Structure 1
């Protein structure tokens, strides 16, 4: 009698690549591909409708302002309701707004006020989605593998944004902005469907809260009570603002006058994106003990691109600088997410993430609006050197905060021999 071969044992999935994590990463990649192209398509849709640069800025602002206004409410709601439901509802809103945007553009009947209104709906959707997404991602991984999981997640997200921007730009030129917006609507639908499949059985039910204002106060107390947290958010409120001004306003002008136009500037931005992928690969292997010290030190090279534009360096040298900046800032990003996962209670993660988001983006519209007047008042070169100086000074100031230097990675306690099997499988399925 022939004995049948023993079945091969199924390989255990790493804790950082469980079912929920895989669904979240796949959804983020799909949405990133669609949304990056849609940002380009929206701008060209405004121009094709007879708008000018000011109208493009108006539609962009119409998306940003509701995002800022609703972030805190979105964070409080995501800590009250099941986060995956908030994410799916936000995806549905974005799908509907982008789909209607596409129909108007394809019909040739799009008006500026309609495009601005639909962009505002997209910003509201993002305000509710962002804090819930961070909380859900944190709950999908274990502390032991969180840094590796976050690095892989960000690599997928950054890669999709790079590919989406390149593909979206090409499709806008070939088939027009309306169809690219339609693809983005479909991407939101697919992403929402994937997120609807998340398993939330391991997440404890939310306790009834004492009202929205009380929830926001609790989130604020959690935020302001940790010096490492609010000091870095204050730092990045300025860092993100001056980087946005340098890249959105000064960079294209320097490229046009000194580097040969849009093509070399596009290569420089692509080099930054490639750097983020390399930084993510690095963080899949490197586990610095002092999370925030290592991450904050890696913010210092973020001052290099503005300095390179101020000189200005040649296009190949600028690409090298952008690559280094992208790799270093990704090290910070993974370290920051790991610190939040380690230090913030799960039931307050979305509210803290909302304060983080608010601080990180609130100054961006102000900085981009003031970039032109600053150039007129001080000159472009001086303004760019000022951007670099602000990044360096604020980063060095944050390094003076004791908690930033001292916060250490806590290694998870080993599971005792003979522990119930349910504890092990729960960790792997998350």
Structure 2
């Protein structure tokens, strides 16, 4: 790895506004997982309840991802992100009001989660695909690192703050803050003006097929996405859906769970700071080796459910997932043609998320049948094994970065 300049993307005015928008949005979203988890558990404490709500969000998210990728490449990524943010803010605001007023029930939460997934979906491939339009190509790692730094920094205090709100005045206030930040994030994108997308003359179906042919023909891309599909199912069904339940039934509790999530963010923060000035030469090799650490919290929750070891495992997992996320975005943004980028991201997100509802819905009943500790231990072990096995594939292990350019400009302007 070689040294790189850390703050140079902030000299680009469009990126500064985008960076501020994402930062404001993350203030709320870093609190919402803890708040949502305990809001659901307050309504229905069954082992499958949180998994049902999460799956209700994920299924429409997956269904509309591909359409979102095509729309973003055709009509402008920042406009798609703005619209998605406004709609998501409204839906999340309705949920927060219902929770605060005591009128929320499991069925309503499932319905609102489904609507939320549908409106968030188009914004995801646009959000990831917009970064190369805002900074020069040779600053992509720094730009993604700055975005990750904000997320990691806020994740340090977000889960603990949410846990404090849950214990003190209930989860509804954290959910309301989340809703407001989505609306503010949309407003902060207004100063950004990007060149309009160039019409291709193709139909949306033809562009969707073109994206699929590119995705299928790029071995490292589909191979990592396939592995992430299985790993995400294990992580969402295990750590996200069963983790709070396991914490709530043991000495860990809501407070310990919040501390563990903050420790995970501290690990991510440390990894981000290290990578802001060091160039990843083998982004997928480094990323997947580090990503295997994300299985540790599930193993600890299953075999040794105590606050101290969970905090250590969560810290290491934060390091691992942050190295992977940064390496993955750099690999995709540097190697996928710009006119294909949102569609590539939409297939990436589709493949990574399509199996998540299976994990969210299946692991709860499995935990009820075989024991939550046993299921979490097996899920964590499988996660580690799949990450390490994927590294063995030649196209993944060998993918290197292009040499740094002496001068470049944002892709949209070249």
TM-score range normalised by the length of the shorter chain: 0.7 to 0.9
In the TM superposition, 1:323-342 aligns within 5 A as 323-342=315-334
Cα distance in 1 between the residues matched to 2:200 and 2:245:
53
Check 1:345–1:162 CA distance in 2 against 1; reply closer, same or farther (3 A cut): same
1:14 aligns with 2:8: yes
Out of 126, 132, 136, which is 1:132 matched to? Answer: 126
Q: What is the deviation of 1:296?
A: 1.8
| Shift of residue 314, structure 1, vs aligned partner | 4.8
Q: Aligned ranges for residues 96-115 of structure 1 at < 5 Å?
A: 96-105=90-99, 114-115=108-109
SS in 2 for 1:398: helix
Residues 57 and 336 of structure 1: is their aligned pair in 2 closer, same or farther, counting only changes over 3 Å? Answer: closer
Deviation at 1:321? 2.2
1:390 corresponds in structure 2 to 382
Instruction: State the Cα deviation string for residues 158-204 of structure 1 (Å, max 9, x = none).
Output: 33344333334434555555544443332122110111211314xx6
Deviations 1:338-380 (A, max 9, x none): 0011101111111111111112222222112222343355554
1:26 to 20, 27, 37: 20
Asked if structure 1 preserves the Cα contact closer than 8 Å seen for 2:238 and 2:359, the reply is no
Matching of residue 167 in structure 1 with residue 154 in structure 2: no
Q: Determine the structure 2 residue equivalent to 1:75.
A: 69
Q: In the superposition, relative to structure 1, how do residues 351 and 167 fare at CA in structure 2: closer, same or farther (>3 Å)?
A: same
RMSD of aligned Cα (Å): 3.0
Paired residues of 1:80 and 1:206 also in contact (CA < 8 A): yes
Q: CA shift at 1:128, angstroms? A: 0.9
Structure 1 residue 192 and structure 2 residue 186: aligned?
Answer: yes
Q: Please give the alpha-carbon distance, in whole angstroms, between the structure 1 residues aligned to 2:79 and 2:283.
A: 32
Is the CA contact 2:34–2:162 (under 8 Å) kept in the aligned structure 1?
yes
1:288 aligns with 2:280: yes
**1:372-405: CA deviation from partner (whole Å, max 9, x where unpaired):** 3433555545433422332233223322321112
Match of 2:363 in 1: 371
Which deviates more, 50-59 or 26-35? 50-59
Gaps of 5+ in 1: 1-12, 416-422
Are residue 148 (structure 1) and residue 150 (structure 2) matched? no
Asked if structure 2 preserves the Cα contact closer than 8 Å seen for 1:16 and 1:142, the reply is no
Distance 2:167 2:251 in 1: 24
Single out whichever of 251-260 and 71-80 deviates more from structure 2. 251-260
- Other-structure match for 2:227: 235
Hey, what does 1:9 align to over in structure 2?
A: none
Tell me whether 1:37 sits opposite 2:31 in the alignment.
yes
Cα separation, partners in 2 of 1:360 and 1:81, compared to 1, 3 Å: same
How many pairs align? Answer: 406
**Structure 2 vs 1, CA of residues 98 and 395 (structure 1 numbering), >3 Å: closer, same or farther?**
closer
Shift of 1:56: 5.2
For residues 250-282 of structure 1, the C-alpha deviation after alignment (integer angstroms, 9 at most, x for no partner) is: 434554566443333332222111111111111
Q: Any conservation in 1 of the 2:160–2:259 contact (CA below 8 Å)?
A: no
The answer to whether the aligner puts 1:84 opposite 2:105 as a matched pair is: no
Question: Do the aligned partners of residues 240 and 224 (structure 1) sit closer, same or farther apart at CA in structure 2, a change above 3 Å counting?
Answer: same
Please state whether the residue corresponding to 1:196 is helix, strand or coil.
coil
Report what 1:63 is aligned to.
57
Q: Structure 1 residues 34 and 15 mapped into 2: Cα distance closer, same or farther (>3 Å)?
A: closer
> CA separation in 2, counterparts of 1:142 and 1:109?
49
Unaligned runs of 5+ in 2: 1-6
Write the distance in 2 (CA, Å) between the matches of 1:271 and 1:239.
Answer: 21
Instruction: Choose 144-153 or 363-372, whichever is displaced more.
Output: 363-372
Matches of 2:306 and 2:176 in 1, distance apart? 39
Mark the CA change 1:354 to 1:329 in structure 2 (over 3 Å): closer, same or farther: same
CA offset at residue 39 of structure 1? 4.6
Contact 2:50 2:241 in 1 (8 A): no
For the 8 Å contact 1:227–1:401, the answer to whether it is kept is no
Secondary structure in 2 matching 1:207: coil
Aligned residues of 2:77 and 2:126 also touching (Cα < 8 A)? yes
Note if 1:352 corresponds to 2:350. no
TM-score, normalized by length of structure 2? 0.87
